[in-house]
Structure 1
Amino acid sequence: MAESDNGARKSAAYPYSSGGWGSLKAVASALVQEKVPLKDATVLLKQNKPDGFACVSCSWAKPADPHMFEFCESGAKATAWDLTAKRMTPQFFELHTVTQLEAWHDHDLEEAGRLTAPLRYDAASDKYVCVSWEEAFEDIGRELRGFDPKSVVFYASGRASLETSYMFQLFARMYGTNNLPDSSNMCHESTSVGLKEAIGVGVGTITLDDFEKTDLMFFFGQNVGTNSPRMLHQLQDARKRGVPIITFNPLREPGLLQFSNPQSPVEMMTPAHTVISTQYHQVKTGGDSAALLGMCKAVVHADDRAKESGQPRILDLEFIEQQTVGFEAFADYVRAASWDEIERLSGLSRADLEAAADEYMRANAAIAHYGMGITQHREGVQNVRMLCNLLFLRGNIGKPGAGPSPVRGHSNVQGQRTVGITEKPELAPLDKLASQFHFEPPREKGMNTVEAFQAMLEGKVNAVINLGGNLVRSVPDRGRIEPAWRDLKLTVNVATKLNRSHLVHGKKSYILPCLSRIEIDTQESGAQAVSMEDSTGCIHGSRGVAEPASPDARSEPYIVAQMAKYTLGDRSTVDWDRWRNDYALVRDEIAKTYPETFHDFNERMWTPGGFPRDLPARERKWKTKSGKAEFFVPESIVEDPDMPERDPQALRLMTLRSDSQFNTTIYGLDDRFRGISGGRMVLLMSEADMQSHGVKKDDRVTVQTIADDGFERRVAGLRIQPYDIPVGCIAGYYPECNPLLPLWHHAKDSKVPAAKSIPVHIVEVNGTPRA
């Protein structure tokens, strides 16, 4: 099939292929910027290899037969960021007060280098001062023993290994709380809830093998070019086999348009490239449910016509009748749906949606990839359920080359859930933990991230233990949250670099410098290795290869073990000293807790390509309430009930990451793919909206959230940038735009902050208030 003009048209902002010389130049620049010695730069050859280390950024799958350079631009930047020659020694903190450092840009804080020694905040001098590890652990343990466990939050960022995560959740539960929020609460909790309801497991079902067997791929709200560029290799292979790729995304992203493989001499030395998207539909922000409904309507209508005319059926009736419940109610809903409403809410024409559906109906096996453009909406769970509805219509789950594919961010964010990081007691094997470790775990529900911050605003949280991450910077409603964070009695941060969460600190605050996964981890029993789970549910070993940044840095398992030991004392039945010295012992215990997935863990962790976790839905075994895959009938396809319908000045803001960013870590202030330079305080806007709102390119505007809760939320100094984005929709960078996101503006059922659809007004232009 020839590529349509819709798919092949380039982005005006970045009219080149993703990958290619641009990526190579960016990698080289990152290594130079971080002053990474040549000998350390060669560790990239071990990145994502079966005998090396798993990338510290994204969680995309690691192939059994890797490329020579099995890393992408984003992954290389993350590695350079950790391997930097720059250091933040105790002398650095002697020269700078915390108040002074608060004025630094987020990029400059992390770019200043690796932390080298444990630090405690000293209020008298307003500085972080060096302390011994023993002093830090003794004081942290003493403080925690004085708190009600229900008032302490144990937050995990998603980067920690399976071993560390298992130890962390066990520590929290032995301490007496299920307050185990994590970064999934901020991004893919809508997946965990929606897929669990639909198919019985809260994760995707595809593996890398499915790329070789699929006939069609969809992308919904996932920017592969910046968030998981290594996937472009699998997409390129699929496209060379003639597999269509249909993309639904508000912005035309270069990574979803065309790709030049940096490992291909032909593509590097000629204008050759691979067109990625064969159809590209710029769905309106918040229009995903409507678009999915339109495709479902086209499929059901085609099947009705086939039935009436005696032609072969379009639906997979055997799958629907034997494996699902709820089809008739959903089919009736689809038939009654109005094309006018579908077009209005999706921003797409009926012809566009029918073209996508026609391609779908020709495919025997289809994969649906999606990201936070689906999950970070008020109806994020509904979006996931609607996507499942589309797959169910043609039996596209539990067969080769087909299934839902939520693309995760952090390198082990999915894995930490697998080993017990969850605030929901029903998702943790509490009875097993009780018998295995001879204690009674708490049974009441803990707090997720949104609930933890709401409790903080109400003065109900005493302490937060941060296992990585930059929670203060990533949180919604920052203007309200930061003062509450400063009132905490204790904040503990396990980190490699300084960030905003260390500067907006509690009354007592510690920074505990940890090893990067890239670094050699030597304990009393010898060199250690860790493991993590990728987006496709496969478990991989990872072994550090670089020298540690500091002899005073400690591994994450070591730090968690010591905090648990000094806090729990004789209450714990775990020999934390043995665990911290030999991670294989931790893996043995994980295998006892989760034998279906982790049996023979130590023997299997170095399996090339990883070993798969137990996922019944892959075999059409449905762990749902009905025992079958469940169709879902939405109450409404309006994704954002907070968006004013009759306000012509209202705009729908979505937040974005740049190509030089991983979550809150910012490697550079430019965004090459979107043609943005000179800073991140920009607002992407269509030229039609610029005209109707009376603004011009480079105007500086102030944006205010539309809300009637008594709180004013504003971000000033955003520079207008014309961009190819649907009318009524605008975009700005995360986390700069987080102050505009109310804490209560979250997905129903999952409480994921609805950062992809925030109702706003432009209230000032170049310092002049709007009427």
Structure 2
Amino acid sequence: MTENDSAGQRPDTPHYKAGAGGWGSLIGMGKVLAEARPSPSTLDTLRIQNKAGGHMCTSCAWTKPKDPHLFEFCENGAKATIWDLTTDRCGPEFFAAHTVSELLDWSDHELEKVGRLTHPMRHDPATDRYVETTWDEVFAGIGAELQKLDPKSVVFYTSGRASLETSYLWQLFARLYGHNNLPDSSNMCHETTSVALKQVIGSAVGTCVLEDFEHCDMMLFFGQNTGSNSPRFLHPIEQAVNRGCKIVTFNPVREAGLVRFKNPQGTAMVTGKTTEISQTYLQVRPGGDMAAMLGLVKRVIEIDGEAGGGVIDRVFVAQHTKGFNAVELLARDTSWEDIERESGLTMRDLSAVAGQYAKARAVIAVYGMGLTQHVHGGETLQMLVNLLLLRGNIGRLGAGICPVRGHSNVQGQRTVGISEKPELVPLDKLSEMFGFDPPRDKGLTTIEVGEGLIDGSVQGFIGLGGNFGRAVPDIGRTNPAWADLALNVQVATKLNRTHLLTGRKTWLLPCLVRAEEDMQASGAQAVTMEDSLSHVHGSQGRRRPAASTLLSEPAILAGIAKATLPANPRVQWNKWIGDYGLIRDLIAETFPEEFADFNARLFTPGGFYRGNKARERVWETESGKAGFTVPPGISGLGRPLEKGEYTLITLRSNDQFNTTIYGMSDRLRGLKGDRMLVLMNPEDMVRVGLVEGQRVTLVSAHDDGHRRVVAGFKATAYDLPPGCLAAYYPEANPLVPLSLHDRMSHTPAYKGTPVRVEE
């Protein structure tokens, strides 16, 4: 086995030697700037991005501080804004020159690079081209089709970019129309959080606020890639490290942002100084986090016994929790041999971390989709809660649980009613406010939408942003089914692959981006979004729209709704679109505890906090207490690997945001030039006779009667645990079955799919 270098990285495999941030980050932004060629005013947009009175970034959902940095944006946030404000245009002339069938052969990057959509378009099946239409024709045509369909067969999907105002109207439209089919991008990432956390602490979201990161003395990271997915988070992490906070990371991949950071806004750009982030970095096996956490719980209980007490917070456990005895029994009865086998980590390493945890005063547990996208992701998350509850690390300053959300308003959409679960929405209040009987039956999750596309029960799909057809699992089976849809409507800013999955009637509708000025009857409008730490921020676009033919998302939604629904004097689409403040009044009336005085707090520096009962140690659970839980096993995977199988994890590069691909570079992993890579442990490659650069085929090993194959991956030796493969999302999505998902939430198992390698 090759010895690791000073940062723990195998020197015989690709990796990024510099720290996250620094000149590499500026160069990365420069490449997108050169390709997108935005107007010079984009620089002014970046100057006020994520600041009170400015526009809120459309990439990650990391919080915006009360006292912002001079430049309160990161590489990813800058790329997203630059990409939005490109001077390239995708108008009727482009579509006249290209058939949909021809465009299906273009890459994801090539499609988006064409530029901003400018005109409403309708697909013409006779010519297989999109043709220009008018907004009046759009609304009348879509409304007529929706009136023909059974509302239960129609899906209203939202990406995480839609504002709180848009999201509120969207869920109201769906329920007035007659369904709860309201999946959003949360269904594919952090729905596990909403379900599993709600069960054990009564909160569907994390408990931390930004102030906690100023007072913690230990952070545990599980399955979260800060450097690529939420780089602004590196600032409070750096500050915590500099005051002595210990960072321990559990991740199959050594991610550069959690190894080293070179602050691009500090003296490090001149001095070259980097901050070492993780004092301990443990490359846990995919699905092994639950076993690793149980190992920590086991050792903390042992330390408490050896010390004669005082390590476990017995007062907190007695007053605020239930179920501790069962977890204590599980920890004592589970052998270290089993823990080491499932986690891929040693008793020695886990005991060292447990010793640090036992001494720490205030601990924050941070996690990402490396935990949630497993068959037993929910149980894994609840095991993490077990660990925190042992020492009272939920509900006090400097401690808590912190899921880092990926998309800018994906958490906020759920807050204002975007949910397929009717019990989570104040339906009686909506009935009282708008004079109708909302549907009470459960709606469709993303997984169920995919199944409905295949079996034909889904007949209509309206997508408010995003790239649903590319982002979902099992796309080899779902993509052909789009052709059978009676109605496919896509509201978007740029061309992507979902727009090419045309049904019998298909419309492509261009909208404003968040950085653009939204002028309505009462003047320039602002919108709002909620960050990962439950703070709500106002956002005001100031750039000139890419085309005079663009409408805002709320205006498009209202146009379709008016053409579809019968008149209702309490539903005043025209007034609401003329003044978004009226929509915020509706949100405040519907959710008075979280959104009182909404308009008055719109541009509060740092956002306004909508509150969290669990942070106050008020547990809105069935028992009225926080719950320790015992899982059915100690692995996050659906089953053990069989001979010749590997666990596939899907990755995003640092040159992409979700399905948006900015380029072929993955700088922070030392990779470039090709996205059709399969990363593999070097010893595994030698054992099966593969050589560097050899093209291979991946085959799903999930046995449900369907064969799933993707060919053309280039085998690349990489620093990964044995038995683990990594490939890029969404290129590897066809290998992830719809039927392989978190058992609690139906979140797809993008981080835990069994596969085989064939030459």
TM-score by length of 1: 0.97
CA distance in 1, matches of 2:235, 2:255: 17
Match among 493, 499, 512 for residue 496 of structure 1: 493
Note if 1:289 corresponds to 2:286: no
SS at match of 1:38: coil
Note if 1:530 corresponds to 2:527: yes
CA distance in 2, matches of 1:556, 1:617: 34
SS at match of 1:358: helix
Q: Over aligned residue pairs, what C-alpha RMSD do you find? A: 1.1
Partner of 1:351: 348
CA distance in 1, matches of 2:7, 2:679: 22
Match among 169, 191, 194 for residue 167 of structure 1: 169
Partner of 1:228: 230
Compute the displacement of 1:40 (Å): 2.2
CA distance in 2, matches of 1:638, 1:292: 11
Equivalent AA in structure 2 for residue 388 of structure 1: V
CA distance in 2, matches of 1:162, 1:89: 29
CA distance in 2, matches of 1:542, 1:140: 30
Partner of 1:477: 474
SS at match of 1:453: helix
Count of residues paired in the alignment: 753
CA distance in 1, matches of 2:77, 2:357: 33
Check conservation: 1:7, 1:278, Cα contact below 8 A: no
Compute the displacement of 1:233 (Å): 0.4
CA distance in 1, matches of 2:539, 2:171: 21
Partner of 2:660: 665
Check conservation: 1:680, 1:733, Cα contact below 8 A: yes
Match among 667, 683, 705 for residue 678 of structure 2: 683
Deviation per CA, 1:599-656: give whole Å up to 9, x if none.
00000111100111131101000000100000001110122234434x1x11111000
Equivalent AA in structure 1 for residue 8 of structure 2: R
Match among 394, 404, 427 for residue 391 of structure 2: 394
Partner of 1:250: 252
Equivalent AA in structure 2 for residue 142 of structure 1: A
CA distance in 1, matches of 2:432, 2:39: 50
Match among 645, 654, 667 for residue 650 of structure 1: 645
Compute the displacement of 1:430 (Å): 0.4
Alignment of 1:138-153 (within 5 A): 138-153=140-155
Compute the displacement of 1:376 (Å): 0.1
Check conservation: 1:6, 1:278, Cα contact below 8 A: no
Partner of 1:462: 459
SS at match of 2:587: helix
Match among 418, 424, 428 for residue 425 of structure 2: 428
CA distance in 1, matches of 2:150, 2:531: 35
Check conservation: 2:517, 2:545, Cα contact below 8 A: yes
Partner of 2:134: 132
Partner of 1:18: 20
CA distance in 1, matches of 2:209, 2:113: 36
SS at match of 1:103: coil
CA distance in 2, matches of 1:477, 1:494: 23
Deviation per CA, 1:476-535: give whole Å up to 9, x if none.
111110111111110100100010110011111011100000111111110000000000
Compute the displacement of 1:11 (Å): 6.8
Alignment of 1:264-303 (within 5 A): 264=266, 266-303=267-304
Alignment of 1:253-652 (within 5 A): 253-264=255-266, 266-307=267-308, 312-571=309-568, 573-645=570-642, 647=643, 649-652=644-647
Partner of 2:156: 154
Equivalent AA in structure 1 for residue 445 of structure 2: N
Compute the displacement of 1:303 (Å): 0.9
Deviation per CA, 1:540-593: give whole Å up to 9, x if none.
000002111111111011111111111113157311011111100000000000
CA distance in 1, matches of 2:68, 2:290: 37
Compute the displacement of 1:107 (Å): 0.6
Partner of 1:767: none
Match among 203, 215, 218 for residue 216 of structure 1: 218
Compute the displacement of 1:6 (Å): 9.4
Compute the displacement of 1:33 (Å): 1.1
SS at match of 2:565: helix
Partner of 2:83: 81
CA separation of 1:372 and 1:6: change in aligned 2, threshold 3 A:
farther
Equivalent AA in structure 1 for residue 391 of structure 2: R
Compute the displacement of 1:37 (Å): 2.5
Partner of 2:730: 735
CA distance in 2, matches of 1:361, 1:561: 55
Deviation per CA, 1:200-249: give whole Å up to 9, x if none.
01100101111101111111000000000000001000011010000000
CA distance in 2, matches of 1:320, 1:246: 25
Check conservation: 1:122, 1:129, Cα contact below 8 A: yes
CA separation of 1:377 and 1:6: change in aligned 2, threshold 3 A:
farther
Partner of 1:674: 669
Check conservation: 2:433, 2:570, Cα contact below 8 A: no
CA distance in 2, matches of 1:641, 1:732: 19
Check conservation: 1:8, 1:277, Cα contact below 8 A: no
Deviation per CA, 1:145-167: give whole Å up to 9, x if none.
11111000011111100000000
CA distance in 1, matches of 2:483, 2:671: 34
CA distance in 2, matches of 1:479, 1:551: 38
Check conservation: 1:643, 1:652, Cα contact below 8 A: no
CA separation of 1:430 and 1:689: change in aligned 2, threshold 3 A:
same
Deviation per CA, 1:365-406: give whole Å up to 9, x if none.
100000000000000100110010000000001000111100
Compute the displacement of 1:7 (Å): 8.6
Equivalent AA in structure 1 for residue 689 of structure 2: G
Compute the displacement of 1:39 (Å): 2.5
Match among 111, 114, 120 for residue 112 of structure 1: 114
Equivalent AA in structure 2 for residue 583 of structure 1: Y
CA separation of 1:7 and 1:91: change in aligned 2, threshold 3 A:
same
Compute the displacement of 1:31 (Å): 1.1
Equivalent AA in structure 1 for residue 739 of structure 2: W
CA distance in 1, matches of 2:150, 2:405: 34
Equivalent AA in structure 2 for residue 621 of structure 1: V
Check conservation: 1:643, 1:759, Cα contact below 8 A: no
CA distance in 2, matches of 1:659, 1:707: 29
CA distance in 2, matches of 1:643, 1:476: 21
Equivalent AA in structure 2 for residue 548 of structure 1: P
Equivalent AA in structure 1 for residue 199 of structure 2: E
Compute the displacement of 1:710 (Å): 2.2
CA distance in 1, matches of 2:6, 2:350: 14
SS at match of 1:420: coil
Deviation per CA, 1:302-335: give whole Å up to 9, x if none.
112222xxxx510011110000000111111111
Equivalent AA in structure 2 for residue 690 of structure 1: M
SS at match of 1:569: coil
Equivalent AA in structure 2 for residue 614 of structure 1: G
CA separation of 1:429 and 1:304: change in aligned 2, threshold 3 A:
same
Compute the displacement of 1:10 (Å): 4.9
Alignment of 1:93-108 (within 5 A): 93-108=95-110
CA distance in 1, matches of 2:342, 2:363: 25
CA distance in 1, matches of 2:448, 2:203: 24
TM-score by length of 2: 0.98
**Structure 1 gap ranges (5+):** 765-771
CA distance in 2, matches of 1:716, 1:115: 32
Partner of 1:9: 8
Note if 1:725 corresponds to 2:720: yes
Check conservation: 2:196, 2:744, Cα contact below 8 A: no
CA distance in 1, matches of 2:218, 2:238: 13
Check conservation: 2:65, 2:606, Cα contact below 8 A: yes
Equivalent AA in structure 2 for residue 305 of structure 1: E
Deviation per CA, 1:723-761: give whole Å up to 9, x if none.
100011010000000000111010111100001011111
Partner of 2:243: 241
